[in-house]
């Protein structure tokens, strides 16, 4: 009878050891599945980020290609001219105001004339408009939508800049417009300030 009892104890010990041995691979399997799950999540997040970056890059590239095609068409059509009081440079006509207004009023004035506040997208254009200015003059750049994020009036992002050192400094006011100085640098100022402005439209 004692032998039977001893055998039962041995069987219990063996079965507990067996369950402990089986538990080890189960834990390893769970850890592996969890690790693979986390890896899949990180991989998916990375792919989404890459897709967003690619989409934005393609959008900027396509916009630039369209600008170049438009410019090429303009240079091929030499007969285009500007209205009286406007100066032609490249494919655009430019007009500098004789009045002063806030950035928003300046933008609205240009829009009413079938134009927009000037968008500077190349160095030669920057030099041309700075030669027209005799004092601080509004251009079509602001951070009105989001503080510190500068965009042109057509919604395009800022790629080429001519900020003066330490600018933009985003003074006390929340929204700022950019202006060009006669020395050809850009600075920012509250949109409420009254300055002359430059309108631009296609020739």
The residue range of the domain holding 178 is 87-202
Distance CA 72, CA 61 (A): 17
Return the pLDDT at 21. 54
Task: Name the pTM for this structure.
Answer: 0.64
* Domain total of the chain: 2
Return the pLDDT at 126. 94
Last residue of a domain, one of 54, 79, 104: 79
87 pLDDT more than 90: yes
Are 45 and 52 in contact by the 8 Å Cβ rule? The answer is no
pLDDT per position as a tens digit, 2-49: 554 445 445 445 455 555 556 667 787 787 888 888 887 877 787 787
What share of the chain in percent tops pLDDT 90? 44
Phi, psi values for residue 14, rounded to 5° = -65, -40
84 pLDDT more than 80: yes
Q: What is the CATH number of the domain that holds 143?
A: 3.10.100.10
């Amino acid at each position: 009878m004692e032998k039977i009892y001893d055998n039962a104890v041995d069987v219990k010990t063996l079965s507990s050891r067996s369950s402990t041995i089986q538990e080890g691979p189960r834990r390893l399997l769970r850890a592996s599945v969890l690790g693979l799950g986390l890896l899949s999540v990180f991989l998916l997040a990375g792919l989404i980020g890459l897709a967003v970056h690619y989409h934005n890059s393609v959008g900027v590239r396509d916009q630039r290609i369209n600008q170049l095609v438009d410019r090429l068409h303009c240079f091929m059509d030499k007969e285009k001219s500007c209205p009286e009081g406007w100066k032609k440079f490249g494919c655009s006509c430019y007009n500098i105001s004789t009045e002063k207004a806030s950035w928003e009023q300046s933008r609205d004035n240009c829009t009413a004339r079938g134009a927009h506040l000037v968008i500077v997208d190349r160095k030669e254009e920057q030099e041309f408009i700075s030669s027209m200015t005799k004092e601080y003059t509004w251009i079509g750049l602001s951070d009105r939508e989001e503080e510190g994020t500068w965009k042109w009036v057509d919604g395009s992002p800022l790629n080429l800049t001519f900020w003066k050192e330490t600018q933009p400094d985003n003074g006390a006011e929340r929204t700022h417009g950019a202006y060009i100085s006669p020395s050809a640098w850009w600075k920012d100022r509250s949109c409420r300030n009254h300055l002359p402005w430059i309108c631009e439209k296609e020739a």
